[in-house]
Protein backbone atom coordinates (compact mmCIF):
# COMPACT_ATOMS: atom_id res chain seq x y z
CA UNK A 1 0.00 0.00 0.00
CA UNK A 2 1.47 3.33 -0.99
CA UNK A 3 0.49 6.97 -1.18
CA UNK A 4 1.74 9.33 -3.87
CA UNK A 5 2.38 13.03 -3.72
CA UNK A 6 2.32 15.30 -6.74
CA UNK A 7 4.12 18.62 -6.44
CA UNK A 8 3.23 21.46 -8.77
CA UNK A 9 5.69 24.36 -8.64
CA UNK A 10 4.43 27.76 -9.71
CA UNK A 11 6.59 30.82 -10.17
CA UNK A 12 7.50 33.42 -12.75
CA UNK A 13 7.53 32.96 -15.63
CA UNK A 14 4.36 30.92 -15.47
CA UNK A 15 3.83 28.25 -18.08
CA UNK A 16 0.22 28.81 -19.02
CA UNK A 17 -2.90 30.81 -18.22
CA UNK A 18 -3.99 28.71 -15.28
CA UNK A 19 -0.61 29.04 -13.59
CA UNK A 20 -0.71 32.80 -14.12
CA UNK A 21 -4.11 33.05 -12.48
CA UNK A 22 -3.02 30.93 -9.54
CA UNK A 23 0.19 32.90 -9.15
CA UNK A 24 -1.57 36.25 -9.36
CA UNK A 25 -4.19 35.40 -6.76
CA UNK A 26 -1.67 33.81 -4.40
CA UNK A 27 0.70 36.77 -4.62
CA UNK A 28 -2.10 39.28 -4.08
CA UNK A 29 -3.25 37.40 -1.01
CA UNK A 30 0.28 37.19 0.35
CA UNK A 31 0.63 40.96 0.13
CA UNK A 32 -2.55 41.30 2.18
CA UNK A 33 -2.00 38.59 4.76
CA UNK A 34 1.65 39.35 5.43
CA UNK A 35 0.77 42.81 6.73
CA UNK A 36 -0.09 41.06 9.99
CA UNK A 37 3.50 39.86 10.29
CA UNK A 38 5.76 42.36 8.51
CA UNK A 39 6.13 44.52 11.62
CA UNK A 40 5.05 47.72 9.99
CA UNK A 41 7.00 47.06 6.83
CA UNK A 42 10.23 46.14 8.60
CA UNK A 43 10.25 42.59 7.22
CA UNK A 44 9.90 41.99 3.51
CA UNK A 45 10.67 38.30 3.10
CA UNK A 46 8.74 35.34 4.41
CA UNK A 47 11.87 34.00 6.07
CA UNK A 48 12.26 37.24 8.03
CA UNK A 49 8.66 37.17 9.14
CA UNK A 50 8.88 33.56 10.30
CA UNK A 51 12.12 34.27 12.15
CA UNK A 52 10.44 37.14 13.97
CA UNK A 53 7.08 35.49 14.62
CA UNK A 54 6.39 31.78 14.32
CA UNK A 55 2.75 32.50 13.62
CA UNK A 56 3.88 33.65 10.19
CA UNK A 57 3.85 29.97 9.26
CA UNK A 58 0.12 30.43 8.91
CA UNK A 59 0.78 32.42 5.74
CA UNK A 60 1.18 29.13 3.90
CA UNK A 61 -2.39 28.01 4.43
CA UNK A 62 -3.86 31.52 4.49
CA UNK A 63 -2.48 32.16 1.00
CA UNK A 64 -3.78 28.73 0.04
CA UNK A 65 -7.33 29.83 0.80
CA UNK A 66 -7.03 32.45 -1.93
CA UNK A 67 -6.81 29.79 -4.64
CA UNK A 68 -9.25 27.42 -3.01
CA UNK A 69 -11.89 28.31 -5.57
CA UNK A 70 -9.77 26.72 -8.29
CA UNK A 71 -8.99 23.67 -6.21
CA UNK A 72 -12.65 23.07 -5.45
CA UNK A 73 -13.54 22.97 -9.11
CA UNK A 74 -10.90 20.34 -9.76
CA UNK A 75 -13.17 18.04 -7.78
CA UNK A 76 -10.40 16.07 -6.16
CA UNK A 77 -8.66 15.32 -9.44
CA UNK A 78 -5.04 16.43 -9.77
CA UNK A 79 -4.83 18.85 -12.71
CA UNK A 80 -2.58 17.59 -15.45
CA UNK A 81 -1.89 14.18 -13.96
CA UNK A 82 -3.29 11.05 -15.57
CA UNK A 83 -2.55 7.38 -15.67
CA UNK A 84 -0.51 5.90 -18.52
CA UNK A 85 -3.52 5.77 -20.82
CA UNK A 86 -4.15 9.46 -20.36
CA UNK A 87 -7.79 8.67 -19.71
CA UNK A 88 -7.95 8.48 -15.93
CA UNK A 89 -7.12 11.57 -13.88
CA UNK A 90 -5.40 10.74 -10.63
CA UNK A 91 -7.39 11.75 -7.57
CA UNK A 92 -6.20 13.67 -4.57
CA UNK A 93 -7.66 13.51 -1.10
CA UNK A 94 -5.65 16.33 0.47
CA UNK A 95 -3.84 19.37 -0.80
CA UNK A 96 -1.91 22.28 0.58
CA UNK A 97 -0.06 25.34 -0.62
CA UNK A 98 3.48 25.91 0.50
CA UNK A 99 5.21 29.21 -0.17
CA UNK A 100 8.73 28.53 -1.39
CA UNK A 101 9.95 32.12 -1.57
CA UNK A 102 8.34 35.48 -0.99
CA UNK A 103 9.90 38.92 -0.98
CA UNK A 104 7.71 42.01 -1.01
CA UNK A 105 10.48 43.94 -2.72
CA UNK A 106 10.75 41.42 -5.56
CA UNK A 107 7.29 40.22 -6.58
CA UNK A 108 8.56 38.16 -9.50
CA UNK A 109 10.57 36.00 -7.14
CA UNK A 110 7.39 34.75 -5.46
CA UNK A 111 7.17 30.99 -5.80
CA UNK A 112 4.96 28.39 -4.26
CA UNK A 113 4.14 24.73 -4.59
CA UNK A 114 0.83 22.93 -4.58
CA UNK A 115 1.13 19.54 -2.93
CA UNK A 116 -1.49 16.94 -3.72
CA UNK A 117 -1.70 13.70 -1.76
CA UNK A 118 -3.43 10.82 -3.51
CA UNK A 119 -5.52 8.25 -1.71
CA UNK A 120 -3.77 5.07 -0.63
CA UNK A 121 -3.26 2.68 -3.54
CA UNK A 122 -2.26 -0.95 -3.69
CA UNK A 123 1.07 -1.41 -5.45
CA UNK A 124 1.09 -4.57 -7.56
CA UNK A 125 4.32 -4.12 -9.47
CA UNK A 126 6.88 -1.83 -11.03
CA UNK A 127 7.59 -1.92 -14.75
CA UNK A 128 10.40 0.39 -15.66
CA UNK A 129 9.31 3.79 -14.40
CA UNK A 130 5.67 2.75 -14.20
CA UNK A 131 3.87 1.72 -11.05
CA UNK A 132 1.11 -0.86 -11.42
CA UNK A 133 -1.55 0.26 -8.97
CA UNK A 134 -5.11 -0.41 -8.01
CA UNK A 135 -7.56 1.42 -5.86
CA UNK A 136 -8.26 -1.71 -3.87
CA UNK A 137 -7.01 -1.72 -0.33
CA UNK A 138 -7.03 -5.46 0.26
CA UNK A 139 -4.15 -7.85 -0.51
CA UNK A 140 -4.38 -9.36 -3.97
CA UNK A 141 -5.24 -13.00 -3.46
CA UNK A 142 -5.55 -13.57 -7.22
CA UNK A 143 -8.94 -15.03 -6.56
CA UNK A 144 -10.60 -12.38 -8.66
CA UNK A 145 -9.69 -9.79 -11.24
CA UNK A 146 -8.43 -6.47 -10.02
CA UNK A 147 -8.71 -3.35 -12.13
CA UNK A 148 -5.25 -1.84 -12.29
CA UNK A 149 -3.78 1.30 -13.77
CA UNK A 150 -0.24 2.44 -14.42
CA UNK A 151 1.37 5.67 -13.37
CA UNK A 152 4.67 7.02 -14.65
CA UNK A 153 6.92 8.03 -11.77
CA UNK A 154 8.90 10.47 -13.89
CA UNK A 155 8.13 14.10 -13.27
CA UNK A 156 7.05 15.75 -10.03
CA UNK A 157 5.47 12.64 -8.54
CA UNK A 158 6.88 10.86 -5.53
CA UNK A 159 5.95 8.03 -3.22
CA UNK A 160 5.22 9.90 -0.03
CA UNK A 161 4.12 7.04 2.22
CA UNK A 162 4.79 3.34 2.41
CA UNK A 163 2.19 1.62 4.47
CA UNK A 164 2.89 -1.60 6.34
CA UNK A 165 3.30 -4.49 3.94
CA UNK A 166 4.58 -2.44 1.01
CA UNK A 167 7.70 -4.02 -0.45
CA UNK A 168 9.11 -2.04 -3.34
CA UNK A 169 12.09 -4.36 -3.81
CA UNK A 170 10.05 -7.47 -4.43
CA UNK A 171 7.64 -5.60 -6.64
CA UNK A 172 10.40 -5.08 -9.17
CA UNK A 173 10.34 -8.82 -9.81
CA UNK A 174 7.42 -8.14 -12.07
CA UNK A 175 9.73 -6.43 -14.50
CA UNK A 176 11.58 -9.48 -15.89
CA UNK A 177 8.36 -11.46 -15.93
CA UNK A 178 6.47 -8.93 -17.99
CA UNK A 179 9.43 -8.08 -20.17
CA UNK A 180 9.07 -11.44 -21.89
CA UNK A 181 5.46 -10.89 -22.87
CA UNK B 1 2.21 21.03 9.47
CA UNK B 2 5.78 20.41 8.39
CA UNK B 3 7.95 22.73 6.35
CA UNK B 4 11.17 20.80 6.45
CA UNK B 5 11.65 19.64 2.92
CA UNK B 6 11.50 22.85 0.96
CA UNK B 7 15.09 22.49 -0.20
CA UNK B 8 14.22 19.17 -1.80
CA UNK B 9 11.40 20.83 -3.63
CA UNK B 10 13.78 23.42 -5.01
CA UNK B 11 16.17 20.77 -6.28
CA UNK B 12 13.34 18.86 -7.77
CA UNK B 13 12.27 21.87 -9.74
CA UNK B 14 15.63 22.39 -11.36
CA UNK B 15 15.84 18.82 -12.59
CA UNK B 16 12.34 18.38 -13.84
CA UNK B 17 11.18 21.74 -15.10
CA UNK B 18 11.03 20.85 -18.78
CA UNK B 19 9.40 17.54 -18.07
CA UNK B 20 6.86 19.29 -15.90
CA UNK B 21 6.11 21.89 -18.52
CA UNK B 22 5.39 19.28 -21.13
CA UNK B 23 3.56 17.15 -18.63
CA UNK B 24 1.30 19.99 -17.59
CA UNK B 25 0.83 21.16 -21.15
CA UNK B 26 -0.43 17.76 -22.16
CA UNK B 27 -2.57 17.61 -19.10
CA UNK B 28 -4.09 20.99 -19.72
CA UNK B 29 -4.80 20.05 -23.32
CA UNK B 30 -6.58 16.99 -22.08
CA UNK B 31 -8.58 19.14 -19.72
CA UNK B 32 -9.53 21.51 -22.52
CA UNK B 33 -8.40 24.67 -20.81
CA UNK B 34 -5.45 25.72 -22.94
CA UNK B 35 -7.57 28.19 -24.81
CA UNK B 36 -8.04 30.36 -21.78
CA UNK B 37 -6.95 33.91 -22.28
CA UNK B 38 -3.79 34.83 -20.50
CA UNK B 39 -5.51 37.59 -18.59
CA UNK B 40 -7.31 35.10 -16.33
CA UNK B 41 -10.66 35.86 -17.86
CA UNK B 42 -13.58 33.76 -16.78
CA UNK B 43 -14.43 32.79 -20.34
CA UNK B 44 -12.87 30.43 -22.80
CA UNK B 45 -11.91 31.82 -26.18
CA UNK B 46 -12.96 29.63 -29.04
CA UNK B 47 -10.72 30.29 -32.06
CA UNK B 48 -12.45 27.77 -34.32
CA UNK B 49 -15.62 29.65 -35.09
CA UNK B 50 -15.25 30.59 -38.74
CA UNK B 51 -16.34 28.46 -41.66
CA UNK B 52 -13.42 27.44 -43.81
CA UNK B 53 -13.08 27.26 -47.57
CA UNK B 54 -10.90 25.17 -49.80
CA UNK B 55 -9.08 22.41 -47.94
CA UNK B 56 -9.57 23.65 -44.39
CA UNK B 57 -12.59 23.08 -42.23
CA UNK B 58 -13.81 24.09 -38.83
CA UNK B 59 -12.51 21.76 -36.17
CA UNK B 60 -14.79 19.48 -34.25
CA UNK B 61 -16.44 20.94 -31.21
CA UNK B 62 -15.52 19.12 -28.03
CA UNK B 63 -16.40 19.39 -24.44
CA UNK B 64 -14.39 21.94 -22.52
CA UNK B 65 -13.35 19.23 -20.13
CA UNK B 66 -14.12 18.45 -16.54
CA UNK B 67 -12.22 21.39 -15.08
CA UNK B 68 -13.39 24.60 -16.75
CA UNK B 69 -11.31 27.43 -15.41
CA UNK B 70 -14.06 29.94 -15.82
CA UNK B 71 -16.55 28.23 -13.56
CA UNK B 72 -15.02 29.48 -10.37
CA UNK B 73 -11.84 31.17 -9.40
CA UNK B 74 -10.27 33.01 -6.60
CA UNK B 75 -10.70 32.68 -2.90
CA UNK B 76 -12.54 29.80 -1.35
CA UNK B 77 -13.52 32.11 1.48
CA UNK B 78 -15.52 34.81 -0.29
CA UNK B 79 -18.95 33.60 0.74
CA UNK B 80 -21.64 34.28 3.32
CA UNK B 81 -22.43 30.72 4.45
CA UNK B 82 -19.24 29.50 6.05
CA UNK B 83 -20.15 26.47 8.17
CA UNK B 84 -19.45 23.98 5.37
CA UNK B 85 -21.82 21.50 6.95
CA UNK B 86 -20.25 21.58 10.38
CA UNK B 87 -22.68 20.67 13.13
CA UNK B 88 -23.60 23.39 15.56
CA UNK B 89 -26.21 25.90 16.64
CA UNK B 90 -26.82 28.35 13.77
CA UNK B 91 -25.27 31.77 14.15
CA UNK B 92 -26.08 34.78 11.99
CA UNK B 93 -23.52 37.56 12.05
CA UNK B 94 -23.92 41.17 11.07
CA UNK B 95 -20.76 43.22 11.37
CA UNK B 96 -20.51 46.95 10.72
CA UNK B 97 -17.24 48.73 10.03
CA UNK B 98 -16.87 52.37 11.06
CA UNK B 99 -14.08 54.91 10.64
CA UNK B 100 -12.82 56.76 13.71
CA UNK B 101 -11.04 59.21 11.41
CA UNK B 102 -14.28 60.26 9.76
CA UNK B 103 -16.79 60.92 12.53
CA UNK B 104 -17.49 57.20 12.90
CA UNK B 105 -18.95 57.05 9.40
CA UNK B 106 -19.46 53.61 7.96
CA UNK B 107 -16.87 52.30 5.51
CA UNK B 108 -18.04 50.65 2.33
CA UNK B 109 -16.03 48.11 0.37
CA UNK B 110 -13.86 47.18 3.34
CA UNK B 111 -12.72 43.59 3.31
CA UNK B 112 -13.79 41.71 6.43
CA UNK B 113 -12.20 38.31 7.08
CA UNK B 114 -13.57 36.21 9.90
CA UNK B 115 -12.63 32.78 11.21
CA UNK B 116 -13.45 30.68 14.23
CA UNK B 117 -13.23 27.14 15.52
CA UNK B 118 -15.96 24.52 15.15
CA UNK B 119 -18.14 23.36 18.05
CA UNK B 120 -15.35 21.14 19.32
CA UNK B 121 -12.66 23.80 19.24
CA UNK B 122 -10.91 22.88 15.98
CA UNK B 123 -9.89 25.28 13.21
CA UNK B 124 -9.85 24.53 9.51
CA UNK B 125 -6.76 24.99 7.37
CA UNK B 126 -4.15 23.13 9.37
CA UNK B 127 -3.57 20.29 11.76
CA UNK B 128 -4.55 21.16 15.33
CA UNK B 129 -4.99 19.33 18.59
CA UNK B 130 -7.91 19.54 20.96
CA UNK B 131 -9.95 17.51 23.36
CA UNK B 132 -10.77 14.96 20.65
CA UNK B 133 -7.11 14.49 19.73
CA UNK B 134 -5.35 15.77 16.61
CA UNK B 135 -7.36 16.62 13.52
CA UNK B 136 -5.66 17.34 10.22
CA UNK B 137 -7.91 19.97 8.67
CA UNK B 138 -5.44 20.96 5.97
CA UNK B 139 -7.22 22.07 2.83
CA UNK B 140 -10.55 22.59 4.61
CA UNK B 141 -12.12 26.02 5.02
CA UNK B 142 -15.00 25.52 7.42
CA UNK B 143 -15.87 28.48 9.64
CA UNK B 144 -13.83 30.90 7.55
CA UNK B 145 -15.17 33.59 5.28
CA UNK B 146 -14.63 37.03 3.85
CA UNK B 147 -16.97 39.68 2.55
CA UNK B 148 -16.75 43.29 1.43
CA UNK B 149 -18.90 45.81 3.26
CA UNK B 150 -21.92 47.23 1.50
CA UNK B 151 -22.99 50.88 1.34
CA UNK B 152 -24.08 50.62 4.97
CA UNK B 153 -20.66 49.41 6.01
CA UNK B 154 -22.04 45.96 6.78
CA UNK B 155 -21.23 42.37 6.05
CA UNK B 156 -23.27 39.32 6.96
CA UNK B 157 -22.32 35.69 7.48
CA UNK B 158 -24.11 32.55 8.56
CA UNK B 159 -22.15 30.02 10.54
CA UNK B 160 -22.38 28.00 13.74
CA UNK B 161 -21.84 29.09 17.31
CA UNK B 162 -18.15 28.44 17.98
CA UNK B 163 -16.97 26.00 20.60
CA UNK B 164 -13.95 26.52 22.76
CA UNK B 165 -10.46 25.22 23.33
CA UNK B 166 -8.33 25.22 26.42
CA UNK B 167 -7.19 28.59 27.65
CA UNK B 168 -9.49 30.75 25.56
CA UNK B 169 -12.96 32.14 25.92
CA UNK B 170 -15.27 31.58 22.97
CA UNK B 171 -14.40 34.05 20.23
CA UNK B 172 -14.31 34.86 16.53
CA UNK B 173 -11.29 36.37 14.80
CA UNK B 174 -11.64 39.27 12.38
CA UNK B 175 -9.34 41.21 10.09
CA UNK B 176 -10.31 44.42 8.37
CA UNK B 177 -8.69 45.74 5.19
CA UNK B 178 -9.44 49.10 3.63
CA UNK B 179 -8.05 49.67 0.16
CA UNK B 180 -5.93 46.54 0.59
CA UNK B 181 -4.29 47.89 3.72
CA UNK B 182 -4.70 45.92 6.93
CA UNK B 183 -6.36 48.25 9.41
CA UNK B 184 -7.15 45.96 12.28
CA UNK B 185 -6.79 42.39 13.50
CA UNK B 186 -9.25 41.83 16.30
CA UNK B 187 -11.51 39.34 18.00
CA UNK B 188 -15.16 39.24 18.98
CA UNK B 189 -16.17 37.61 22.25
CA UNK B 190 -19.54 36.26 23.30
CA UNK B 191 -21.40 36.94 26.56
CA UNK B 192 -20.43 34.37 29.18
CA UNK B 193 -24.04 33.64 30.09
CA UNK B 194 -24.95 32.69 26.53
CA UNK B 195 -21.78 30.64 26.17
CA UNK B 196 -22.88 28.65 29.21
CA UNK B 197 -26.31 27.99 27.71
CA UNK B 198 -24.87 26.91 24.38
CA UNK B 199 -22.25 24.65 25.92
CA UNK B 200 -24.97 22.88 27.91
CA UNK B 201 -26.93 21.88 24.79
CA UNK B 202 -26.81 18.37 23.43
CA UNK B 203 -24.63 19.39 20.52
CA UNK B 204 -21.98 21.01 22.69
CA UNK B 205 -22.16 19.39 26.11
CA UNK B 206 -19.66 16.63 25.36
CA UNK B 207 -16.90 19.17 25.71
CA UNK B 208 -18.30 20.66 28.88
CA UNK B 209 -18.25 24.30 29.91
CA UNK B 210 -15.44 26.64 28.73
CA UNK B 211 -12.43 26.67 31.04
CA UNK B 212 -11.93 30.41 30.44
CA UNK B 213 -14.40 33.25 30.89
CA UNK B 214 -14.14 36.61 29.17
CA UNK B 215 -12.86 38.33 32.28
CA UNK B 216 -9.91 35.95 32.58
CA UNK B 217 -9.17 35.57 28.88
CA UNK B 218 -5.71 36.93 28.07
CA UNK B 219 -6.90 38.47 24.80
CA UNK B 220 -10.36 39.79 25.66
CA UNK B 221 -10.11 40.80 29.30
CA UNK B 222 -8.55 44.20 28.64
CA UNK B 223 -11.07 45.13 25.96
CA UNK B 224 -14.39 43.82 27.20
CA UNK B 225 -16.05 47.15 26.41
CA UNK B 226 -15.46 46.90 22.68
CA UNK B 227 -14.79 43.26 21.85
CA UNK B 228 -17.83 41.52 23.33
CA UNK B 229 -20.49 41.27 20.66
CA UNK B 230 -24.22 41.63 21.17
CA UNK B 231 -25.66 38.13 20.92
CA UNK B 232 -29.37 37.34 21.09
CA UNK B 233 -31.43 34.22 20.57
CA UNK B 234 -33.55 34.22 17.43
CA UNK B 235 -36.82 32.51 16.61
CA UNK B 236 -35.10 29.85 14.51
CA UNK B 237 -33.34 28.24 17.42
CA UNK B 238 -30.08 29.96 16.69
CA UNK B 239 -28.40 33.19 17.68
CA UNK B 240 -27.81 36.55 16.06
CA UNK B 241 -24.52 38.32 16.57
CA UNK B 242 -24.33 42.06 15.93
CA UNK B 243 -21.08 43.92 16.33
CA UNK B 244 -19.43 47.12 15.22
CA UNK B 245 -15.72 47.29 14.59
CA UNK B 246 -14.00 50.65 14.57
CA UNK B 247 -10.90 51.24 12.49
CA UNK B 248 -8.76 54.24 11.61
CA UNK B 249 -8.94 54.56 7.86
For the stretch B27-77, pLDDT in tens is 444 443 333 333 454 333 333 334 445 566 666 544 333 344 444 567 888
* B90 touches A at CB < 8 Å: no
With H, G, I as helix, E, B as strand and everything else as coil, classify residue A100: strand
* pLDDT band at B209; cut points 50, 70, 90: very high
Report the residue of B43, B139, B178, B181 to disrupt the A interface, i.e. the one with the largest count of A CBs within 10 Å. B139
Which residues of A are less than 8 Å from B27 in CB distance? 79-82
B177 CB near a chain A CB, below 8 Å? yes
- pLDDT given at position B45: 32
CA–CA dist B171, B220 (Å, integer): 9
Give the angle A25-A27-A31 at the CA atoms, nearest 5°.
115
pLDDT at B54: 58
| Least CB–CB distance from B74: residue in A25, A61, A156 | A25
Q: Which residue has better confidence, A138 or B154?
A: B154
Q: Does A81 score more than 80 pLDDT?
A: yes
- Confidence (pLDDT) at A18: 87
Q: Taking 60 as the threshold, does the pLDDT of residue B79 lie above it?
A: yes
Q: What is the pLDDT of residue A9?
A: 96
Count of CA atoms in the C-beta half-sphere (13 A) of A4: 28
- Whole-angstrom distance, CA of residue B105 vs CA of residue B99: 5
pLDDT band for A146, please (50, 70, 90 cuts). Answer: confident
Nearest-CA distance B229 → chain A (Å) = 23
- Nearest residue to A36 via CA among A55, A10, A15: A55
Among A86, A75, A78, A76, residue whose Cα is nearest residue A152? A86
Task: For chains A and B, count residue pairs whose Cβ atoms are closer than 8 Å.
Answer: 146
Q: Looking at the predicted complex, does its ipTM rise above 0.85?
A: no
Which is nearest to A3 in space by CA: A155, A99, A116?
A116
A72/B25 touch (CB, cutoff 8 Å), yes or no: no
pLDDT of residue A141: 60
Alpha-carbon span B71 to B82, nearest angstrom: 20
Q: What is the pLDDT of residues A133-142, one digit of tens each?
A: 998 766 556 6
Dist. CA A155–CA A81, nearest whole Å: 10
Average pLDDT over residues A146-159: 91
pLDDT digits (tens, 9 = 90+) for A42-58: 999 999 999 999 999 99
- What average pLDDT does the segment A115-143 reach? 85
| DSSP per-residue string spanning chain B | ---TTHHHHHHHHHHHHHHHHHHHHHHHHHHT-TTB-TT--SSB-----SPP-TT--PPPP----S--GGG--S-S-B-SB--TT--S-EEEEEEEEEETTTTTEE-TT-EEEEE---TTS--SSSEEEETTEEEE-TT--TTEEEEE--TTSEEEEEEE-----TT--SEEEEEEEETTEEEEEEEEE--HHHHHHHHTSTTTGGG-S-S--GGG-TTTTT-HHHHBPEEEE-TTSSEEEEEEEEE--
Q: Write down the mean pLDDT value for chain B.
A: 80
Structure confidence at residue A144 (pLDDT): 74
Q: Of A175 and A78, which is predicted with more confidence?
A: A78
> Residue B18: is its pLDDT beyond 60?
no
Task: Quote the pLDDT of residue A136.
Answer: 78
Q: Are B176 and B245 in contact (CB under 8 A)?
A: yes
pLDDT at B187: 95
Q: Which residues pair with B231 in a beta bridge?
A: B241
Is the confidence at residue B1, as pLDDT, over 90?
A: no
B182 in contact with A, Cβ within 8 Å: yes
| Residues of chain A contacting B3 with CB distance shorter than 8 Å | 57, 60, 98
CB contact under 8 A, B13 and A62: no
pLDDT at B130: 96
Mind listing the pLDDT tens digit for each residue in B107-153? 999 999 999 999 999 999 999 999 999 999 998 999 999 999 999 99
pLDDT confidence bin for A145, thresholds 50/70/90: confident
> Across residues B74-83, what is the average pLDDT?
89
For residue B22, what pLDDT is reported?
45
| Interface residue B127 vs chain A (CB under 8 A) | no
**Chain B residues inside the 8 Å CB shell of A6:** none
Taking the CB of residue B104, how many other CB atoms lie within 10 A of it? Answer: 10
Amino acid sequence: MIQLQYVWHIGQPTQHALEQCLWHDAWTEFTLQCQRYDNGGQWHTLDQMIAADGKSHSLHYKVGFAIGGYVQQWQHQIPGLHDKTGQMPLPFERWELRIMHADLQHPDSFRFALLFDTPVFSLHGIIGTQLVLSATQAPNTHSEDIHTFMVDMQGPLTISRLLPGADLHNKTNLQPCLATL
Amino acid sequence: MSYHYSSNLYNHKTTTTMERIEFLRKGMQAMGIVAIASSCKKQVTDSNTSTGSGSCTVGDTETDGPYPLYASRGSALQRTAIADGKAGIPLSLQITIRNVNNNCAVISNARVDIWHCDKDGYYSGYSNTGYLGTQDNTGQVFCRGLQYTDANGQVSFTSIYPGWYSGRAIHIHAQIYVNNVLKLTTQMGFPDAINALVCATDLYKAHGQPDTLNGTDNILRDSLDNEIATVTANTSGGYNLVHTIYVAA
